[in-house]
Amino acid sequence: MKKFLLSVACIASAIAALAQNPTTVTTVTNCSVFRNFNTSDEGFSSPSIYSDANDVSFFWNPIAGAEIESSGIRNRSASLISPTYIQTIPGNLTVGFRYVAPPNTQYRIRIISGVGSAPLEVLANTANGPNYTPLPGTAGNICLLLTDADLVVGGQIRIEFTFRATRNGNILFDDLALSVAGGPLPVTFNGFVARKNAGGTIRLLWDVGTEVNVKGYEVESSTNGVDFTDAGYVAASGSRVYGFDYPGKLVQTMFFRVRNIDFDGRSKYTPIIKVYAREQTGAGIQLYPVPAHDQVTVQHDKSSERSFISLYSMEGKLLQRVVAIPNTLQTQLNLQTLTPGIYIVSYDDGYSSVQNARLVKN
């Protein structure tokens, strides 16, 4: 049987540790700092809902440049959980940290699958069960090699650190060491469009399919499509769709792109989109998000009192027709009653100009 973490209210709340492959734990000396916590919490989190009154949280302290547990409770258990990383070495992982803790504090390290829903598989465990290991002192460094056949190259993993204390005093966690060259998973951009508002301003929208270890998004603008400058910032919030209103009225053709910023400083860009200062008739319609779910926004030329949007099956059957509100640039279609598949969206301006686009509904 596999080893599973049964998530009740948070990742660290309960476990059934039934090992398929036992973990061999060896003390080593080749730990080098992977994350130092000097400028951010590095994407680590501490459970906020607990199954026991003695469970407490770590909080990132920017002055100390470390994660610190300072609840003041004598008997307590505190956990830290890393963001998702990619396993890059077959069958083993080197992991370490620097600590300061009260006397007799114990610790446990578990390597957990990076899948986002319960039950979560525990791939490796320093205790091979529910037992904890005493820290060797009140301050120092831990450096361990965890060997387990369940650690497969390319697998998504998270690391959980748990400390159990019976004396007063803060617990400090710092200088994570980890043999994971692949780093956290990047964000996946599914779509990026610009929408003209009636007053001439621009709203940018981007659809995020995967968002792991993302701190936020930088919006960049350009007048030539080559030289870009910062236009604004949107903090990551776990949303599926993000939006940003470009400040000021558009007076010339502009180019836009969005760059995600991960907690480790990595980044990637959306494609560049071009927005004209004047309406471009016949430039085509855009759909957002792609693929769509319960609703899709159709970006089109400024509509008249005769404009309408039609939705067809791939066989040409008319499924829906919506009259566009005059003088608008976008129209929403409700897709809740549609089965997943491919459809055709058609925009008719009412004056013999028709633009079509293919819609994918998940």
Domain 4-178: CATH class, spelled out: mainly beta
pLDDT at 64 over 80: yes
Residues 158-177 have pLDDT tens digits of 899 999 999 999 999 999 99
Predicted pLDDT of residue 6: 35
Residues 189-236 have pLDDT tens digits of 766 777 777 676 788 888 786 666 677 899 998 887 778 899 999 988
Residues 290-347 have pLDDT tens digits of 788 888 888 888 888 888 898 888 766 778 888 888 877 888 888 988 899 888 888 8
Q: Domain segments of the chain: what residues?
A: 4-178, 186-278, 284-362
Q: What is the widest separation between alpha-carbon atoms in the chain?
A: 81
Strand-pair category, 341-348 with 273-275: unpaired
Tokens of 18: 């039934």
Tokens of 59: 């909080």
Predicted pLDDT of residue 101: 96
**For the chain, first and last CA: distance in Å?**
34
User: How would you label 31-59 residue by residue, b for 16+ Cβ within 10 Å and e otherwise?
Assistant: beebbebeebbbbbbbbeebeeeebbbbe
Please state which architecture CATH assigns to domain 284-362.
Answer: Sandwich (2.60)
Domain 186-278: CATH class, spelled out: mainly beta
Q: pTM score > 0.85 for this model?
A: no
Predicted pLDDT of residue 262: 76
Cβ–Cβ under 8 Å, residues 209 and 191: no
User: How would you label 265-281 residue by residue, b for 16+ Cβ within 10 Å and e otherwise?
Assistant: eeeeebeebebeeeeee
Residue in this structure with the two tokens 């780093």, named with its chain if needed: 183
Question: φ, ψ for residue 153 (rounded to 5)?
Answer: -55, 135
Predicted pLDDT of residue 119: 55
Predicted pLDDT of residue 182: 46
Check for a shared fold between 186-278 and 284-362: yes
